[in-house]
């Protein structure tokens, strides 16, 4: 997991010991290569789409560091200075680029300012989340499990519809995580498997509990010539599973019985060999 923190209008204290921030003035238009919290270049860019509309910045030395959901805002100066916007009808656009399409991203943002002010945030044109400004050091907007399109996520900010004046944007965080876990099936029975015997195995990272299976044979030189299914009468029988559900991710064991073949003739030679494979559904 990699994390990059951004502040759009401040120069941070030189004695920062908790995390590394990417700071810039909005007039500079962004950061071409963000560093993560280990001060390692990420290759991600954070670039404002419209430099002409940058407005007032807040400067309030009474603000403190974040707590609760905003505890990643670890220095008071981040809340003390931020970008201002005074247009509730216009979304200001930030292009976050250089992302990995195989990863998932969480984009978080927060605001601090006078009482009665609030700021809207959204990602990729989706539903907005509103963050109060007045003395806020705990509330954030958080957009989770976002997939980039061609390495890009669009982050947007504007004055809140009910804000009584200028709204402020003080900090953002990008969190990169691995994509969803990969589903996997493992045959635990010893191969080759003789027709008429029980096949056992394990499965992991399924989004549902399996209710059936197919079994393809591994005849040498002709992988997958024959496929049997629990959905077809007289083929795979006695299907059973165990299941552990962890936050919607299903894993467990499975078993089924393959049909017997004639005891004489060529068909008795067919076995489900080293290339045999199972699919669960």
The pLDDT value recorded for residue 29 is 74
- Give the model's confidence band at 162: pLDDT under 50 very low, under 70 low, under 90 confident, else very high: very high
CA distance 1 to 20: 15
Residues 98-128, buried b or exposed e (16+ Cβ, 10 A)? bbbeeebbbbbbbbbbbeebbbbbbbeeeeb
C-alpha torsion sign, points 37, 41, 108, 64: positive
At 185, list the tokens: 């099936």
- Give the model's confidence band at 133: pLDDT under 50 very low, under 70 low, under 90 confident, else very high: very high
C-alpha torsion sign, points 60, 63, 66, 69: negative
The pLDDT value recorded for residue 54 is 52
Q: Cα–Cα–Cα angle for 11, 17, 23, nearest 5°? A: 25
Percent of the chain at pLDDT exceeding 90: 54
3-state secondary structure 230-276: CCCCCCCEEEEECCEEECCEEEEEEEEECCCCCCCCHHHHCCECCCC
Q: In what order do the strands lie in the sheet with 129-132?
A: 30-31, 45-48, 92-97, 153-159, 118-123, 129-132
- Pairing between strand 21-23 and 2-7? parallel
175-186 tens-digit pLDDT: 998 876 778 999
Where is average pLDDT lowest: 123-137, 140-154, 168-182?
168-182
User: Distance between alpha carbon 171 and the CA centroid of its chain, in Å?
Assistant: 20
What are the φ and ψ backbone dihedral angles of 247, each rounded to 5 degrees? Answer: 50, 45
Secondary structure class of 69 (helix, strand, coil): helix
């Amino acid at each position: 997991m990699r994390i990059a923190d951004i502040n759009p209008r401040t120069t941070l204290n030189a004695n920062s010991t908790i995390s590394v921030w990417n700071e810039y003035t909005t007039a500079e238009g962004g950061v071409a290569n963000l560093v993560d919290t280990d001060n390692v270049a990420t290759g991600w860019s954070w670039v404002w789409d419209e430099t002409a509309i940058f407005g007032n910045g807040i400067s309030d030395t009474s603000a403190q560091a974040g707590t609760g959901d905003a505890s990643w805002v670890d220095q008071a100066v981040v809340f003390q200075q931020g970008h201002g916007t005074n247009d509730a009808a216009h979304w200001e656009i930030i292009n976050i680029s250089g992302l990995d399409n195989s990863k998932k991203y969480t984009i978080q943002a927060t605001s601090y300012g006078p009482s009665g002010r609030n700021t809207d945030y959204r990602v990729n044109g989706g539903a907005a989340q509103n963050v109060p400004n007045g003395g806020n050091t705990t509330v954030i907007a958080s957009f989770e499990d976002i997939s980039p399109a061609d390495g890009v996520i669009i982050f947007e900010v504007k004055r809140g519809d009910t804000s009584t004046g200028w709204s402020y944007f003080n900090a953002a965080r990008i969190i990169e995580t691995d994509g969803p876990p990969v589903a996997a099936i493992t045959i635990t029975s010893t191969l080759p498997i003789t027709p008429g015997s029980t096949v056992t195995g394990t499965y992991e990272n399924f989004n549902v509990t399996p209710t059936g299976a197919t079994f393809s044979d591994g005849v040498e030189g002709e992988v997958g010539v024959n496929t049997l299914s629990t959905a077809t009468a007289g083929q795979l029988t006695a299907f059973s599973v165990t299941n552990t559900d962890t936050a919607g991710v299903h894993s467990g064991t499975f078993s089924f019985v393959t049909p017997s073949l004639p005891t004489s003739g060529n068909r008795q030679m067919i076995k489900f060999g080293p290339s045999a494979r199972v699919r669960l559904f």
